[in-house]
Amino acid sequence: MNQLGSLWRKWDLHIHTPASIVQNYGSDDGWERFITELESLPAEIKVIGINDYLFIDGYKRVLYEKKNGKLKNIDLILPVIELRIDKFGGSLNHLSRLNFHIIFSDELSAELIENHFLNALSSKYQLTPVYDNLRTSAKWAALPTRSSLHDLGEKIINSVPEAKRVEFGHPLIEGFNNLCLSLDSVYEALGSHYFTGKFITAVGKTEWSDIKWNDHTIAEKKTIINSADFVFTSASSQQDWEKAHKSLLEAGVNSRLLDCSDSHNFSDSELKDRLGKCLTWIKSDPSFEGLKQALFEFKSRVLISEQKPIEPLFQIRKVKFNFPEQTKLKRQETQDDFCFRGNHEISFSPYLTSIIGGRGTGKSTILNLLHEKLDKGVNSFFKTNVLVSSSPLKIEDHVIVDGVSDRNAIDFLQQNEIEQFAIDQRRLTSAIYSRILKLDTSNVLIENTKKISDICSLIEKQIRRLDQLAVLQSAHSEKKKQLTTNKSVLDSFKDEDYQRISNELSLNNKQLLLYRSGKERYEELLTALDKIVLLYSSKSKVDSENPFETEIQLIVEELNRLIELSKGKDSIGEARKAEIELMQKASILKIEMQKFLTQRGLSAESLADAGAAAERVTELEEEISSIVKNMEAISEEIATFSVDEEPKLKYEESLRKLLATINLDLKNLSSEVRPIELHYEFDSYSMREKLIDNIVTFLADRSRRDHVKDMLEGIDLSSLKDAESISSKISDSTKTGKALKTFFSAEENLEKLRLIAFLEYMKVEEYGRIRVLYDNKPIESTSFGQRCTAVIVILIILGNTPIVIDEPEAHLDSSLIAKYLVELVKSRKIHRQIIFATHNANFVINGDSELIHCLSMDSNNKSSIDSITIEDLNHREKLLALEGGVEAFQKRELRYGID
């Protein structure tokens, strides 16, 4: 069972051995070092193809070493036969022969390849044009063996003038270099039933490029490369590979170009064709079938690079369940065995993980448990279903998530949630907004959102100032009335003694109020400073190397010193004594006043009023003075208040630019998907409704909201001008109309409502909407299936965090999934992890799932999981059993015209 799915590994499919006819390892004496260097290959190289020219001896030897405990670092060894084809490039004096490689399945034995392929070619060999007369004149007619090739080489060397023989190499190499086959004869030999589905072909890029483009060769040159599965090259660098790849694209031919070492030399050689120099990464199981799947999905499964491909940044790597064995799933009044009781561990591919299985096998349960763990209380399934053992279980205690665990970093779409997005425009807007913010790499939206928030706070503060001013104005009016009343009481007494006592008491009370006010502020300051000292005092030794911490402690120490110095000052002690003396004098004067009034024959009630009036006048005068000062300060703040809408305009401009970029990706998606566009709008209607709610609250006379709304029809509440122009549009024939006219006639009401209107206008996050158009029509005006299509396309395209969808195929056309959505999934899974629970074979197979969890129920009513890959032939029947599984595989294998 493959828990991790298809992984990136380096594959070097072009390694020559000491048994190869052309190589620089040495012969038998090079084998020991060769095997040692294979064992020391870079750790990422896990699959090698052993190339032999005409023979398979090298592969046999490497396989022997593997079976005897060597090469534990290599997961798969494939036999590769390299042949020279009778197509030539270069010039007559320096011909280059086309190299043709056949990569065989490791399921085929070396003997079978020898007997049914190499031997089938024995009678098909030809010689190069220059020396073909040796064959036609019967001077050389033999099966290709090392001995016969040596003999052929000697005949070739001897056929030239003696002076030219020094230009030739070893007879074995010369014999091999001049032996070739037709492509037709190779494919004829591969036509044996033994090789059906068991081989993959490749042509050498360098030699193919040497074939000239002209009227006679162009068709054949294209046929040669296009009929091959892969193209091999051994590039000096990634940049060289990119140039070679670009040339194939420009020629409009097979561009499935693999970089292999083509090693003829040990790893310490300065030549590029050396052991370990390979740039090809393939994402698959280390199996021949994995190579075939890389052929079918070359763009997503093959990468040419020095470094391992970068995986999506955010991943859920695995989840573990450890529920008690007796766990039950409680649905209302019924209880059933919980399918994931006990211990379970489920891994997820960084790319696409598909969870499949029959209904009731636990596919959705895996996603629901994951969702509930990461976003407690939100999952709809566990709102109505409870897990219990001896008592209710907390899911968060029994589910462990390895990887991303921040709810905000994962997109969950529960079963039927795509449909809910399709119905609820505001919910879709919110989902799009959260994803767009992640695309704001320059942070313009975030920065202006902060500025808007600050402006809203300033507006709210200004509204509070208006309320405070209104309260102060009311208090000022009331205090003035009280002062007038108390002064009238005092004015009723004309006696000089009374006036003297009253004036002394007033003066004394003024001084006493000043002392008390200063004392209160002084003690508040000391209390605040004590709290600061306590907050910033270090409980441990200060880090002397941190200047900030050192400075903090110096400030704290200085504050402590100043506090203690202040408490001990004589002036503070004297002030406290003076306060006591003033209090004592006030008491004496009050007694004197009471005695005076008693002697004048006042009743007890009048005595109390007259005595209090003298003291109250002083207090009221001080209170009125304080109120006036506060009113003046607040009025000045109100007058100098100023904000503007620039941050909102910048926010909306930036948002529209981001949407324009997204719209380019959404344009011309496929013939199956009509154009989708996202547009930003400010919801002025909802803002107006909020303002009407405010007005109804201000009226406070139980006016019916619908009546208020009707009366305000035609009045622009977001741009209120003078009271007269507003009142002229309101009829006073009803109680509500009269109340509105009275309300708008007060300038302070208008000013407050203007501020509230501007406050609401600035709330882009509350009233901003993303309008979705499908085929130039509002999404709400399209069919339900079209809305679901638009939703899933938008949600998959936007964002780079894991997206988890339960049954993404719901309400989607199967043709849409097969022809477009699988391609969208393949392009997006490179950038974000995707996890599906699905019944749809196209998502699983043609979406090229890296990891597939096949669920079933065992005899104990527990969920059983087989973790497989598409290339896992041992479990292929599980994928074929999916609805449309056979058709999905057929479509996959025919995608590139590969049979």
- Give residue-wise pLDDT tens across range 232-257: 999 999 999 999 999 999 999 999 99
Give me the residue label for tokens 């020898």.
114
Please determine, looking at this structure, whether the domain spanning 316-425+778-896 carries the CATH number 3.40.50.
yes
DSSP letter, residue 341: B
Give the pLDDT score at 600.
64
pLDDT tops 80 at residue 259: yes
**Residue 528 φ then ψ, to 5°:** -65, -40
Query: How many angstroms separate the Cα of 168 from the Cα of each of 21, 140, 157, 299?
Result: 15, 19, 7, 43
Which residues lie closer than 8 Å to 202 by C-beta, 6 or more apart?
A: 13, 100, 101, 103, 228, 229, 230, 231, 232, 258
Task: Work out whether strand 352-357 and strand 851-857 pair parallel, antiparallel, or are unpaired.
Answer: parallel
Structure tokens at 53: 């020219």
Tracing tokens 């496929």 back to the chain, one arrives at: 670
Alpha-helical runs (H) found in 169-217: 171-177, 183-190, 205-210
Residues in the chain, overall count: 899
Residue 707 — φ and ψ, nearest 5°?
A: -70, -40
pLDDT number for residue 356? 94
- Decide: residue 57, CB within 10 A, 0-12 exposed, 13-18 middle, 19+ buried: middle
* CA-based end-to-end distance of the chain: 29
pTM over 0.85: no
pLDDT digits (tens, 9 = 90+) for 52-98: 888 899 999 999 999 999 999 999 999 999 998 887 655 444 556 78
Q: Could you give the CA distance from residue 899 to residue 897 in angstroms, rounded to a whole number?
A: 6
Would you identify the CATH topology of the domain 7-119+197-304?
TIM Barrel (3.20.20)
The answer to whether residue 276 scores a pLDDT higher than 50 is yes
Report CA 639 to chain centroid distance, whole Å. Answer: 47
State the Cα torsion 467-470-471-474 to the nearest 10°. Answer: -170
More confident residue, 494 or 230: 230
Mean pLDDT on 679-694: 92
Is residue 786 very low, low, confident or very high in pLDDT (cuts 50, 70, 90)?
confident
Residue 607 confidence (pLDDT): 56
The residue ranges of DSSP E strands in 670-728, in sequence order, are 676-682
Give the start-to-end residue ranges of the domains of the chain.
Answer: 7-119+197-304, 122-180, 316-425+778-896, 481-635
Residue 279 DSSP symbol = -
Quick one: average pLDDT of 219-226? 90
Residue 780, H or E segment: none
In this structure, of 529-533, 573-577, 889-893, the range with the lowest mean pLDDT score is: 889-893
* 885 close to 852: Cβ distance less than 8 angstroms: no
Burial per residue of 706-723, b for 16 or more beta-carbon CB atoms within 10 angstroms, e otherwise: ebbeebbeeeebeebeeb
Query: Which residues sit opposite 857 in a β-bridge?
Result: 863
Instruction: Tell which residue, 827, 773, 771, 790, has the closest CA to residue 673.
Output: 790
Lookup: tokens for 318: 């695995």
57 contacts: CB under 8 Å, gap ≥ 6: 19
- Please, what is the average pLDDT of the chain? 87
**Residue of 827, 108, 661, 773 lying closest to 425 (CA atoms):** 773
